[in-house]
Amino acid sequence: MRIVVLDDAQAVARFGADTIGEQLSAKPESVLGLATGSSPLPLYQELISDYQAGKISFKSVRTFNLDEYLGLPGDHPQSYRHFMNKQLFNEVDIDLDNTEVPDGMSKNPLAFCAAYEERMKQAGGVDLQLLGIGRNGHIGFNEPSSSLVSRTRVKTLTRDTVEANRRFFAPGEFQPHLAITMGIGTIMEARSILLLATGTDKAKAIAEAVEGPISASSPGSILQMHAKVTVVVDREAAQELKDVAFYQYIEQEQQRLLDAIRA
């Protein structure tokens, strides 16, 4: 697990955009796993800027989103399909037919979940999976107690997650308590994983995910078992990590090695 500690949220977003840019440069037809929420927003703005500057193209890219609320149509302002269209897809050259977000209005969500898994498999699997992390350690909507080998499925959201998302819904508006989400086992099959976290409210979750025991009570901790994970945090999100200086030393030495190889 690579731990990158940067000064602020903007630096985290820039690092994330550079990582995705490198992926698309190496493989223009990459399959990206994408996330919603507050953490990826600055990253998506950086990607849009890079696209507008002619640095990257999404023309051959295919995407699969992590999750979607059950009971919200794709044109609902709080649906994740609407979020992705507004925050990224409509601003770059991606073919919308190549963007997949779980169908929150599926008549048979259980069958949909199995079909979603199959479409990812047929696409060749996810090359790079983008993640955020919840305050309780959830990745996607895999809440604490989720099976660490779970597949795409319908999940009941915890009260903490429902409360955290309440600010996005108007008083009296229907707020889903169920969601379709990629499973932890599904996420772990991605060839590489990029997790971004910023702010003090993510510090405990990051410490548990990076330095704590692997446990279903902290779903993000399973990432310790992945061969290629990069965790990028600002100083606020890193404040409960015990070995920040060591992680920074590792980054320094790795950069020296790369510089020597390139010389």
Would you state the pLDDT for residue 169? 86
The pLDDT confidence band at residue 162, using thresholds 50, 70 and 90, is: confident
Whether 136 is catalytic: yes
Q: Give the active site residue among 46, 136, 142, 234.
A: 136
The model's pLDDT over 191-231, given as tens digits with 9 standing for 90+, comes to: 999 999 999 999 999 999 999 999 999 999 999 999 999 99
Confirm whether 138 is a catalytic residue. Answer: yes
Q: Could you give the CA distance from residue 191 to residue 216 in angstroms, rounded to a whole number?
A: 22
Q: Is 137 left (phi over 0), alpha (psi -120 to 50) or beta?
A: left
Which one of 138, 142, 208, 234 is the catalytic residue? 138
- Domain annotation for the chain: domains and CATH numbers: 2-262 (3.40.50.1360)
Helix (H, G, I), strand (E, B) or coil at 159: helix
CA distance 134 to 125: 24
pTM for this prediction? 0.94
The answer to whether the CB of 45 falls within 8 A of the CB of 13 is yes
Kindly name the residue from 46, 50, 65, 67 that is annotated as catalytic. 67
Q: How many CA atoms lie within 13 A of 63 on its CB side?
A: 24
- Told to judge if 98 belongs to the known catalytic residues of this protein, a careful annotator would answer no
C-alpha dist (Å) from residue 26 to 5, 71, 191:
25, 38, 14
**Whether 82 is catalytic:** no
User: What confidence tens digit (pLDDT) does each residue in 90-104 have?
Assistant: 999 999 999 999 999
